[in-house]
Structure 1
Amino acid sequence: MPSDITTKILHSDRLAGVEHGAVLKPLHIATAYGYATAAELTEVFQGTRSGHVYGRQGNPTSQALETKITLMEDAVGTVSFATGMAAICSAMMALLRKGDHVIASRFLFGNTASWMNTLQQMGCEVTLVDATDAANVEAAITPATRIVFVETIANPRTQIADLEGIGRVCKDKGLVFIVDSTMTTPALFRPKAVGASLVVHSLSKSICGHGNALGGSISDTGVFVWTSYPHILPAYKKGEPKTWGLLQIRKKGLRDIGATLSAEHAHRIAAGAETLGLRIERACSNARALAAFLEKQPLVSKVHYPGLASHAQHERAKALFKDFGALLSFETVDGVDPFDVLDGLKLVIKSSHLGDNRTSALPVARTIFWEMGAEQRKSMEIADSLIRVSVGIEAEADLLEDFGNALATLGGKRS
């Protein structure tokens, strides 16, 4: 099998064999699957024979996408879900019990932070720490700790967790280390390299890239020893122990909760994934140029992008990642309303989506982080003037011109 991600994705369907000699897996929309004998149905149902039982647990199209993600992450296997949030919530619901303790980065995507609040309401304890230093994670561990959860590059302030240090702590303490790698994707980073147990992706973002499908995934890297995990149910202790965790997530998470990735969306995501490497290379190049440009603008007080030498974790990002990602954020100087900056943009889309081919931007404090309130925003270092930018693959000159015109026009009005 080739080592390059793009080559792997392009040929993964064909190498596994596709109906009628097609070069990619077709769209399968069947909900139910029939077998010639009751014995065959039973074997598939019990997991002793490969096959599908009911569409809620997946279908041949989503299975083909899971194979791609597994190859990209060098993982043991993958389970796909309707969204990235469905992947996170379903996995934790499958693995946690009342009284368990979760340690998470305090620099989290807004909906993930909301889920941590929900976990606490359901009887799990959650401790939010500054995950840019693994010592903070280690200090928060209790006998009830089961999971540590971080993002590779935090959305939207771009803090980078001490991934290597946290990986060592989790290995030493026998904890499940879940890494949301949506902002880096397998094109830039494989969390397996730092000891991640499970890797999360919002497939709706860069892996799809075209803004036309929702999806999420959980991949098991094979690093964690599931024989040591106290909550694996007897029914799922079958076959290789390295598959136990993912099997329980598929059964108690995907099957029971029912957040199934549709075949149509799986098909679109799989097609988008074929050009991931090419798109990420262009988007990262644009982001580096835009970040450097914004850092020089008089109406901009701070720019947050791992590719800048001014970023607190720049050296860490340079050591860990192939490139610095396509997400950046910036703050305006006092007296400049981010609404005015955004309304001056003509090319950039004002949208809450990210990881798209098209560049988008939004005022963070008054949109995706509004619900959590000023106090929690402050703890996450979210300034009122913060603007998040998800950089796309447009021509670099066009992007710089759009931001330049918006800021120049606003600067002229202020003068």
Structure 2
Amino acid sequence: MSTQPTGANWGFTTRCVHSDRLGDIEHGGIHKPLHLSVQYGYESASELVKVFQGEAAGFNYARQGTPTVAALEANVTAMEDGRASLCFATGMAAITAIFTTLLKAGDHLVCSRFIFGNTNSLLGTLQGLGIAVTFADATEAANVEAAITPATRMVFVETIANPRTQVADLEGIGALCKQRGLLYVVDNTVSSPWAFRPKSVGASLVVNSLTKSIGGHGNALGGAITDTGLFDWSNYPGIFPAYRKGNPAGWGLAQLKKKGLRDQGASLSSEAAHHLSVGSETLALRMAASSASAQALAEFLAAHPKVRKVYYPGLPDHAQHARAKKLFRAQSWLMAFELVDEDDCVAFIDRLSLPIVATGLGDTRSLILPVAHTIFWEMGPERRAEMGIADSLIRLSIGLEDSRDLIEDFGRALEAGA
């Protein structure tokens, strides 16, 4: 029989592949098996009481997790070099849990102006609940600092913004939040923990839509929150008295688990957790391949006379190119571009053969859509203008196709235009 692995000095991919083997795997399974039970029983009532009151580890009701989900949480924690993680049904469920369980009426949130459309919609809901929100150009920490008020409790940014790929001043904002004692939340979905760890810039909480880079195969929804262990929860006014017991380092996730999973019910299923865990094993391989293809296609499009502008951090003319090159191992699979002929946006997409016209991101297949007409339509032209989203903007998520084939397809579609 082989010895139990320790993982102390493993590299990123080795850790992902063997993460579940660091704990017990029932019956010698190669992968952590599916635990489909909703309830979990105990030999005595006193044992169950200890689990309910947080005095002992264990499972009671699947809404707050299962052994299969716990194995994925441990894997995500290792990826992000965090203290602990919680998994949710979707990335939006994870973000919603952060905002609604750690903020209350009268609190103030500073958010990047350049954020995912659904997150923007959620923030409108928060404002209706009495939580003030200020949007700031997060590419410069000074803009975030100018937006801070005495009621500010949290700053929220994305690493690489969807869809225009702006890169936040992650280091500067981290230093600012540390100085002011603010909760610093970083959405790492586009970069992935392989290309970047927000903990390195002082993030308090890290969000990942597991559906995208980490799962990567478009076959399961999921989201995760990782506590990096850097934030002092003992001084945070948003922690309820019920969770102010024991080690303060665990207070934040304890409240997120009880309020975000138990109360709101945004639970990740064991089936989805299994898909995501297996998908995570190829994270580094997929990210390296898709980032390289995205770089090659971005360079091709940038040089084409029928393309007005390409937005990709790997290009030298990107406004935050130097920052992205310093912080990220690779520039990810996300890019956007505008055609010279603004009216050709939808027709151009229809001339392509390889990219699938779909709303998702981070899949094995390349995905494409007209931004203003679809995912950012609801917010209206004024808000789109504030975010720099032109009516002709096309978003592209690069998959695992050979870069040569993608370039040939885009070249043919461009030449076939008017």
Fold-level similarity (TM above 0.5):
yes
Counterparts of 1:408 and 1:261, CA distance in 2:
45
Counterparts of 1:174 and 1:400, CA distance in 2:
47
The partner residue of 1:313 within 320, 326, 332 is 320
Structure 1 residues 333-412: aligned runs within 5 Å: 333-410=340-417
The partner residue of 2:163 within 137, 156, 162 is 156
What are the Cα deviations for residues 98-139 of structure 1, in whole angstroms up to 9, with x where unaligned? 000000000000000111111101100000010000001111
- Pair 1:18-2:11 in alignment: no
- Pair 1:252-2:253 in alignment: no
The partner residue of 1:262 within 266, 269, 273 is 269
Quote how far apart the aligned CAs of 1:299 are.
Answer: 1.4
Counterparts of 1:8 and 1:310, CA distance in 2:
36
The partner residue of 1:53 within 50, 60, 84 is 60
Which residue of structure 1 aligns with residue 5 of structure 2? none
Given that 1:14 and 1:22 are in contact with CA atoms closer than 8 Å, whether structure 2 keeps it comes out as no
- Pair 1:139-2:146 in alignment: yes
Given that 2:342 and 2:392 are in contact with CA atoms closer than 8 Å, whether structure 1 keeps it comes out as no
Given that 1:359 and 1:389 are in contact with CA atoms closer than 8 Å, whether structure 2 keeps it comes out as yes
Structure 1 residues 69-218: aligned runs within 5 Å: 69-218=76-225
Given that 2:139 and 2:168 are in contact with CA atoms closer than 8 Å, whether structure 1 keeps it comes out as yes
The partner residue of 2:71 within 54, 59, 64 is 64
| Aligned amino acid, residue 404 of structure 2 | A
Given that 2:368 and 2:394 are in contact with CA atoms closer than 8 Å, whether structure 1 keeps it comes out as yes
Stretches of structure 2 lacking an aligned partner (at least 5 in a row): 1-7
Cα-Cα RMSD: 0.8
What are the Cα deviations for residues 240-276 of structure 1, in whole angstroms up to 9, with x where unaligned? 2111111111111111100001110010000000000
Counterparts of 1:177 and 1:263, CA distance in 2:
30
Given that 1:299 and 1:336 are in contact with CA atoms closer than 8 Å, whether structure 2 keeps it comes out as no
Q: TM-score, normalised by structure 1?
A: 0.98
- Pair 1:235-2:221 in alignment: no
| Aligned amino acid, residue 180 of structure 2 | K
Number of aligned residue pairs: give it.
411
Quote how far apart the aligned CAs of 1:339 are.
Answer: 0.6
Q: Structure 1 residues 396-405 or 14-23, which shifts more?
A: 14-23
| Aligned amino acid, residue 340 of structure 2 | V
Distance 1:335 1:26, change over 3 A: closer
What are the Cα deviations for residues 16-50 of structure 1, in whole angstroms up to 9, with x where unaligned? 12111223210111100111111111111111111
| Aligned amino acid, residue 236 of structure 1 | Y
Counterparts of 2:10 and 2:340, CA distance in 1:
46
Which residue of structure 1 aligns with residue 16 of structure 2? 9
| Aligned amino acid, residue 286 of structure 1 | S
Given that 2:25 and 2:32 are in contact with CA atoms closer than 8 Å, whether structure 1 keeps it comes out as yes
| Aligned amino acid, residue 292 of structure 2 | S
Counterparts of 1:105 and 1:363, CA distance in 2:
22
What are the Cα deviations for residues 344-391 of structure 1, in whole angstroms up to 9, with x where unaligned? 001110000110010010000000000000000000000110000000
The partner residue of 1:224 within 220, 231, 250 is 231
Quote how far apart the aligned CAs of 1:231 are.
Answer: 1.6
Distance 1:9 1:319, change over 3 A: same
- Pair 1:286-2:301 in alignment: no
| Aligned amino acid, residue 31 of structure 1 | V
Counterparts of 2:9 and 2:393, CA distance in 1:
42
Runs of 4+ in structure 1 displaced over 6 angstroms?
Answer: none
Quote how far apart the aligned CAs of 1:335 are.
Answer: 4.4
Q: Structure 1 residues 174-183 or 240-249, which shifts more?
A: 240-249
Q: Secondary structure in 1 aligned to 2:77? A: helix
Q: Secondary structure in 1 aligned to 2:259? A: helix
- Pair 1:329-2:329 in alignment: no
Q: Secondary structure in 1 aligned to 2:260? A: helix
% same residue: 58
| Aligned amino acid, residue 240 of structure 2 | L
Given that 1:151 and 1:161 are in contact with CA atoms closer than 8 Å, whether structure 2 keeps it comes out as yes
| Aligned amino acid, residue 154 of structure 2 | I
Given that 1:338 and 1:363 are in contact with CA atoms closer than 8 Å, whether structure 2 keeps it comes out as yes
Q: Secondary structure in 1 aligned to 2:416? A: helix
Given that 1:131 and 1:137 are in contact with CA atoms closer than 8 Å, whether structure 2 keeps it comes out as yes
Given that 1:102 and 1:148 are in contact with CA atoms closer than 8 Å, whether structure 2 keeps it comes out as yes
Stretches of structure 1 lacking an aligned partner (at least 5 in a row): none
Given that 2:140 and 2:169 are in contact with CA atoms closer than 8 Å, whether structure 1 keeps it comes out as yes
Given that 1:5 and 1:187 are in contact with CA atoms closer than 8 Å, whether structure 2 keeps it comes out as yes
